[in-house]
Amino acid sequence: MKQEVPIRLVLVGSPGSGKGTQGKLIEKKYGIPHLAAGDILRQEVARGSELGRQAKVVMDRGELLADAIITSVIEARLEESDCRRGWILDGFPRTIGQAKALERWLAQRGENLTAVVAFELPDAEILKRLMGRLTSSVTKRVDDDPAVHQKRIDIYRRETAPIFGFYEGKKLLVKIDATGTVDEVSRRIVAAVKT
């Protein structure tokens, strides 16, 4: 389905909550690019760029890159021509600083977010999914490390969860029950976003 009105979605949720899985489905459904911050950084790591070298150290520790670095990477990507009809941001913003930077970037262009989709999933299920990805030869990622899973979840609670309140105040937050099958979660997102 091609969209006439640009859709600009943000997917927020803990590591392993299914943002990447759902982002790819939304990309297909609406024909707009799925921009996953982690994927962009892993591509830089694979290319061996200076950004990739910096990112690898931080990602291996399960920590977050500095706001200024990731913000400039994402803004540059959003300025590419395929983003004119909309986009799905996955894994950005991840801090209040990043959320404010995105707000300024949108305001400069007279644009708005359509919605911020918050994935809600109990910690036990999060860890189960992350372990499942780790043990699958299809989905396993280079930065998947059980030793840092809990740290990434803790950083998510401390640094990222506060952006829920930020977007709630702007009436953009849509909370999604992220339990159940991939199809069930996908249907909930489509119904909640109601484009």
Residues in the site for ligand AP5, rule: CB under 6 A?
A: 13, 15-21, 36-38, 41, 58-59, 62-65, 70, 91-92, 94, 98, 129, 132-133, 139, 143, 152, 180-182, 185
- Structure-token pair, residue 148: 């840092």
Closest approach, Cβ 104 to ligand AP5, in A, equals: 16
Shortest gap between Cβ of 135 and ligand AP5 (angstroms)? 9
CA–CA dist 93, 88 (Å, integer):
12
Q: Say if CB 40 and CB 77 are below 8 A apart.
A: yes
Q: Which one, 5 or 94, has the nearer CB to ligand AP5?
A: 94
Strands 86-90 and 173-177: unpaired
Name the minimum Å distance from CB 192 to ligand AP5: 15
Are 152 and 16 contacting, i.e. CB atoms less than 8 angstroms apart? no
- The distance of closest approach from Cβ of residue 1 to ligand AP5 in the complex, given in angstroms and rounded to an integer, is 22
Residue of closest CB approach to ligand AP5? 38
Cis peptide before 146 (omega within 30 of 0): no
> What's the CA gap between 76 and 136, in Å, rounded?
33
* Nearest to ligand AP5 of 36, 110 (CB atom): 36
